Amino acid sequence: MIFDSVVVGPLGVNCYIIGCESTREGAVIDPGGDAERIIAAFSGRGLKIVHVLNTHGHFDHIGANRAILEATGADLLIHEADVPFLTLADRAAAAFGVKGENSPPPDGFLQDGITIAVGELELKVIHTPGHTPGGCCFYGNGMVVTGDTLFAESIGRTDLPGGSLEALLGSIHGKLLGLPDDTVVYPGHGPSTTIGREKARNPYLRG
């Protein structure tokens, strides 16, 4: 498996690039900005991007959707519950004092339990509402990309529109903490961690 990350945009989002070594097909997860840097990263790997995947619809995770789609011809997938965010990114970004760009509409919807093929690789979609109603994680090859659901020793904020602390904790406990302890967690911001480490150290998940 090919795996790269690029920190992008004004809020420092982790954009992930996943590729199949055999077919050279790839996916970009959460292109939040700085499209030129993302394109350089997957082009340098010789990848043909077939999917752009959004863990959720907040402006800092979708800001380069349009540019990546236009550069690659890939399809855009997001959970249906987060589609309304795609056309509100400019206003949401302005509330944070930064510039944001709205996204084109999706080509399809992420659903809990479905599998996204990237060449010979498979990513299982785990719907984890709480940070947003349509938040999703991508699990496969011993890792899980968690967006703003789970961070190293923290969790996603729930005070934004559509957020729910009860739902977020339910998602983490019910769907993520059951993954193998050695599963590497790649969050939407900050350093990577593991499921086992978060069980032991995350203060938000105790009790």
Q: Are 142 and 184 in contact (CB under 8 A)?
A: yes
pLDDT digits (tens, 9 = 90+) for 116-140: 999 999 999 999 999 999 999 999 9
pLDDT digits (tens, 9 = 90+) for 30-65: 999 999 999 999 999 999 999 999 999 999 999 999
What pLDDT is stored for residue 189 in this prediction? Answer: 98
pLDDT digits (tens, 9 = 90+) for 94-111: 999 999 999 999 999 999
pLDDT digits (tens, 9 = 90+) for 152-165: 999 999 999 999 99
What pLDDT is stored for residue 44 in this prediction? Answer: 95
Burial class (CB in 10 A: 0-12, 13-18, 19+), 199: middle
pTM: 0.96
> Measured between alpha carbons, how far is residue 132 from residues 80, 126, 149 in Å?
11, 14, 9
145 CB neighbour count, 10 Å cutoff: 27
Q: What is the fold, at CATH topology level, of the domain defined by 2-205?
A: Metallo-beta-lactamase; Chain A (3.60.15)
Grouping H, G, I as helix, E, B as strand and the rest as coil, residue 202 is: coil
